[in-house]
């Protein structure tokens, strides 16, 4: 506003020289454009909504000990029976026992005089682990807005030559346009999809062995199922230790299955605001045609120098869909740029008195394109547009 006051004062100070005219009033310019080629601070920084990789481990079971070698005189429990030392001292010393049990007739081989038992040892474990995967979308956003400005315009001109029907002059104009504002809210600049998959693994180890006992040629052997539950009871005798142990070794089985999965989306949103104003200076000719005493038609134009003052503020927030923020960025810039251009307009003037008149004109302004940057965003301004002005004018000297 101080600049406008100074311009008006300077223009007013010069009117005392004679063939001058001075005009002041409002003016507008419309049809200007703003385009944004936006980026993403989150994408540029490589932020991850979640940490990709694995958490947890797979199931593990240590190898089982080797099968019993059968040399110890101890109670042995099997999958299909048991054999233990006899409660009789003499039998115990002889290595025989009536303290045994078996379940299946197939275990007894009368021809070979043997009783066979199966022993299986098993150990198993389960564990869960979670795999996190993050998929990112393309970064960036775009936006457009139309700009319209309004302000005050002052014109100081000098008549170079005057004739009965027309006159030619040169003039200087100073105008201030305000309201070149734009705002973009909640623009999606980047997205990430996070997927958590939970796996359950299982490992099982099995140790198998076969134990063979001597039935001592007993002609009357009890049929299965048979069990002697008292170590000192009376019953048929067998060896109290195996005569052979066949170790089948260990087997290991593993499995993996998905037991859970969930997904979540994180999005980076941008708020961008611009507050701008333009100070425009024009130097050029004016042709004024007077078909009547009070009415005049004019054509005017010239070269312009435009000082753009722009403030831009940008905020980007990377957050989950439920609103939980992950990270945010704030950028701002205050810039001034000189831009060259041109203008042309036509208008009418109507005389109120010999020296005072009303002035109205409309035309088009050209201004070179301008690009501003704030954070990862680029803002391009096209300040070309139509113009309209209305003023009260004073003429001093001449017709």
Task: Note whether 258 and 198 are within 8 A (CB).
Answer: yes
Residue 5: its pLDDT value, please?
36
Q: Examine residue 207 and say whether the peptide bond preceding it is cis (omega within 30 degrees of 0).
A: no
Banded model confidence at residue 288, pLDDT cuts 50, 70, 90: very high
Q: Residues with Cβ < 8 Å from 332, sequence gap 6 or more? A: 311, 312, 313, 314, 374
Q: Examine residue 318 and say whether the peptide bond preceding it is cis (omega within 30 degrees of 0).
A: no
Nearest one of 25, 214, 204 to 112, comparing CA atoms:
214
CA–CA separation, 307 vs 35, rounded Å? Answer: 19
Banded model confidence at residue 398, pLDDT cuts 50, 70, 90: low
pTM of the model: 0.72
Coil/strand/helix, residue 5: helix
Nearest one of 217, 244, 234, 242 to 99, comparing CA atoms:
234
Q: What is the pLDDT of residues 298-356, one digit of tens each?
A: 999 999 999 999 999 999 999 999 999 999 999 999 999 999 999 999 999 999 998 99
Instruction: Output Rg (C-alpha) for the chain, integer angstroms.
Output: 50
Residue 66: its pLDDT value, please?
85
Q: What is the pLDDT of residues 44-88, one digit of tens each?
A: 999 999 999 999 999 999 999 888 889 999 999 999 999 999 999
What are the structural domains of the chain?
Answer: 2-52+145-195+268-396 (2.40.160.20), 55-130+196-261 (no CATH)
The continuous run of DSSP H or E covering 181 comes out as strand 166-214
Task: Note whether 68 and 245 are within 8 A (CB).
Answer: yes
Residue 17: its pLDDT value, please?
38
**DSSP string of 344-368, one letter each residue:** EEEEEEEESSSSEEEEEEEEEEEE-
Q: What is the pLDDT of residues 164-221, one digit of tens each?
A: 899 999 999 999 999 999 999 999 999 999 999 999 999 999 999 999 999 999 888 9
């Amino acid at each position: 506003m101080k600049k406008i006051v100074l311009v008006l004062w300077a223009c007013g100070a010069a009117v005392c020289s004679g063939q001058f005219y001075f005009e002041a009033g409002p003016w507008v310019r419309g049809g200007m454009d703003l385009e944004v080629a936006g980026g993403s601070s989150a994408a540029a920084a490589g932020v991850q909504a979640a940490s990709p990789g694995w958490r947890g481990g797979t199931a593990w079971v240590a190898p089982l000990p080797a099968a019993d070698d059968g040399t110890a005189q101890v109670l042995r429990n099997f999958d299909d029976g048991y054999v233990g030392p006899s409660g009789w001292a003499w039998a115990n010393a002889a290595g025989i026992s009536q303290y045994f049990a078996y379940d299946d007739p197939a275990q007894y081989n009368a021809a070979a005089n043997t009783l066979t038992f199966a022993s299986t040892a098993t150990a198993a474990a389960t564990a869960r682990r979670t795999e996190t995967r993050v998929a990112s979308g393309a970064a960036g956003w775009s936006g457009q807005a139309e700009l319209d400005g309004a302000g005050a315009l002052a014109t100081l001109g000098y008549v170079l030559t005057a004739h009965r029907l027309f006159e030619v002059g040169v003039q200087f104009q100073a105008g201030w346009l305000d309201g070149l504002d734009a705002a973009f809210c909640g623009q999606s600049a980047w997205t990430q999809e996070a997927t958590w998959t939970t796996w359950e693994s299982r490992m099982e180890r099995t140790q198998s062995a076969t134990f063979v006992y001597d039935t001592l040629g007993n002609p009357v052997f009890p049929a299965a199922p048979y069990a002697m539950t008292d170590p000192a009871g009376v019953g048929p005798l067998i060896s109290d230790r195996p005569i052979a142990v066949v170790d089948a070794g260990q087997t290991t089985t593993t499995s993996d299955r998905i037991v859970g999965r969930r997904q979540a989306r994180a999005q980076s949103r941008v708020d961008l605001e611009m507050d701008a104003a333009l100070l425009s200076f024009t130097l050029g000719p004016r042709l004024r045609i007077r078909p009547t005493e009070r009415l005049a038609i004019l054509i005017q134009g010239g070269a312009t120098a435009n000082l753009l003052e722009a403030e831009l503020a940008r905020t980007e927030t990377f957050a989950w869909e439920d609103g939980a923020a992950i990270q945010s960025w704030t950028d701002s810039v205050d810039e001034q740029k000189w831009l060259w251009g041109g203008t042309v307009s036509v208008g009418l003037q109507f005389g109120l008195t010999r020296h005072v008149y009303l002035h109205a004109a409309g035309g088009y302004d050209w201004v070179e394109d301008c690009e501003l940057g704030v954070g990862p965003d680029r803002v391009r301004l096209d300040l070309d547009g139509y113009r309209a002005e209305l003023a009260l004018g004073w003429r001093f000297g001449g017709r």
